[in-house]
Chain A
Amino acid sequence: MRRTFAVALRVLDQLRRDPRTIVLVLAAPLLVVFLLHEVLESGSPVPRIAVVGSDRLAAALKDRADVLRPADAQAAAELLERGEVDATVELDEGSGLLGSSPAVSVDAADPSASAAAMRALREGLADFAQSSLPGFAKAANPRVSYLNGSTETTSFDFLAPVVLCFLVFFFTFILAGIAFLRERASGTLERAFASPLRRRELVAGYMLGFGAVAALQTAVIQLFVVLAYRAPNAAGFLPALAVNLSVAFAALAMGLFLSAFASTEFQLLQFIPLVVVPQVLFAGIFNLRSGPRWMLALSELFPLTYAGRALRDLMIRGRPLFTVLPDIAILCAFGAAFLALAIWGLARYWRG
């Protein structure tokens, strides 16, 4: 026990005297959250639409887009060609309202711009139809009620839980992996092996020391996401913290384990495309519901899948903690398994 504490205290002592790492551990995740928030909340672009013909359609679109009025279809096509508008619409009111259907052209090069233009057109045309023929177009404007959130639920809100657990995972993984590696490269690990220290005491000490740092880091990131950006946190602070701490535990164990198979920091970084990137793709940023079966099966292998799911249930859907206990248990099982593997992996260097 004394040796375990000695390792833990030494790890903390090293961190304390390494301001750059402290800044990295605490400030870098906050910077990432800040940037992500700014990017996602910068809003969808206001579409630019050229309207030919109908004045009333142009009026209906005014609130939803920057409307240009070229003289004829030829001029509108040129605007679209030059990229000055995202879409053109031509509607001839003179031939009777139901006589002609609107002709729409969209520049599909930028999906987000064309999607915004299409949405504005759909809504504008629905308004236009309703004002022209009251009652006729009622079906086009359903009354909508929202479960789990509201119209105010933004992309950032939806992504915040996943980003939160990803940041916790990534920074804990890197921190523990590199510290362990550095210890091996410097020869201090070998020197420790020449003492009566047991492998499990060493790993336990690392878990304890970095666990404390990871807990602090986790709390800071979570506070930042929830307080500064008012991300939904329906279930409260502590249940989400419980999930994030189990993520940190799994990340720590994985970092310690994988660092045994890297001989330089560069080699450890090479594990990132293998271990970290797939997790991001599969952990819930993209909806995999209609993906092939192998993809769903693969996503079950990644700790972040469970973490992302649990955090969304807690933060967005406001479910109580006990409903995500299975996910927490799986995360802890990942951690325990990698911990055992880390102790086993050390045998490569232990009195070998």
Chain B
Amino acid sequence: MRAASLRELRKSYGPVRALDGLELDVEEGEVLGLIGPSGSGKTSAAKALAGLLKPDRGEARVYGELMPAREALSRVGYMAQSDALFLDLDARANLAYFAALQGMGGRAASARIAELLALMELESDAWRPVRGFSGGMRKRLSLAIALVHAPSLLVLDEPTVGMDPRLRLRMWERFRSLAEGGAAVLVTTHVMDEAERCDRLALIFEGRAIASGRPAELRDSRGVASLEELFLEARP
């Protein structure tokens, strides 16, 4: 089933055209990677799926609902590039707050928070204010918040920046297992070995998806040996 779709999406910020008729589908059970140069519109596409961008034209739908729909938002887990954490609060309080915004509370929320803290290897730091966290720890906490309400569509904007290779590997294992559980996972990335791990890639250039397919298909159809080359030669 289709988790989300972007149709003919256009958005300008003043003279800057961020999205120029972007078309994109995200299917349940897949990890979809968005690749493309900086400023190509990956973040805007992610924001549109999280209900954070009001398009000038076109539409964004999540589970058939036109965004921003409150019902659909509770099925989306969004992680922005910036960490978006309350630095004065400890890790647990950060998680508890966003869980409450999703309508979770009581024992169910506590259990879920404990589970995620364990998953992100943050258990021993759960009571420390986030201000003292390293970049990688903040990233993990931020990801845990995106997962707290067990969303079925994950929209992750460069989720592994600043993580060490071992954690990065663990995160990708996690994305994979979420997708196998039926979730749709959309990840924007600049890291080509991460792109290789995606089920499907969409190459974004100047606000449009100029190519999409499995990593191997993309390489073959564009006649390049590596995704790196594909990225470097990106043009319509």
Q: Is B85 an interface residue (CB 8 A)?
A: yes
Contacts of B89 in A (CB 8 A): 10, 13-14, 17
Asked if A195 and B74 sit within 8 Å, CB to CB, the answer is yes
Asked if A351 and B101 sit within 8 Å, CB to CB, the answer is no
CB distance from B67 to the nearest CB of A (A): 8
Q: Which of A5, A6, A196, A352 contacts B53 (CB 8 A)?
A: A352
Q: Is B145 an interface residue (CB 8 A)?
A: yes
Q: Is A194 an interface residue (CB 8 A)?
A: yes
User: Could you pull out 19 A-B pairs where Cβ atoms are within 8 angstroms?
Assistant: A2-B105, A3-B103, A10-B89, A14-B86, A17-B88, A186-B82, A186-B86, A187-B84, A190-B84, A191-B98, A192-B101, A194-B76, A195-B98, A195-B101, A195-B102, A196-B74, A196-B103, A197-B101, A352-B52
Asked if A196 and B73 sit within 8 Å, CB to CB, the answer is yes
Q: Which of B68, B87, B98, B102 contacts A351 (CB 8 A)?
A: B68
Question: A-side interface residues toward B, CB under 8 Å?
Answer: 2-3, 5-7, 10, 13-14, 17-18, 186-188, 190-198, 351-352
Q: Is B83 an interface residue (CB 8 A)?
A: yes
Interface size grouping (class) on chain B: 20 to 34
Question: B-side interface residues toward A, CB under 8 Å?
Answer: 50-54, 67-68, 70-71, 73-74, 76, 78, 80, 82-89, 93, 97-98, 100-103, 105, 129, 145
CB distance from B140 to the nearest CB of A (A): 15
A-B CB contacts (within 8 Å), total count: 77
Contacts of A187 in B (CB 8 A): 80, 82-84
Whole-angstrom CA separation of A195 from B151 in the bound complex: 11
Closest to B68 in A: A351
Whole-angstrom CA separation of A328 from B15 in the bound complex: 48
If A193-B52, A351-B54 touch, whether A14 touches B74 (CB-CB below 8 Å) is: no
Asked if B100 and A6 sit within 8 Å, CB to CB, the answer is yes
If A17-B129, A195-B98, A196-B70 touch, whether A188 touches B52 (CB-CB below 8 Å) is: no
Contacts of B103 in A (CB 8 A): 2-3, 196
Whole-angstrom CA separation of A10 from B86 in the bound complex: 9
Asked if A191 and B80 sit within 8 Å, CB to CB, the answer is yes
The listed residue with most A CB atoms (<10 A of its CB), out of B53, B86, B87, B101, is B101
Closest to B79 in A: A191
CB distance from A20 to the nearest CB of B (A): 11
Contacts of B98 in A (CB 8 A): 191-192, 195
The listed residue with most B CB atoms (<10 A of its CB), out of A6, A7, A13, A18, is A6
If A13-B93, A17-B129, A352-B54 touch, whether A196 touches B101 (CB-CB below 8 Å) is: yes
Whole-angstrom CA separation of A196 from B52 in the bound complex: 12
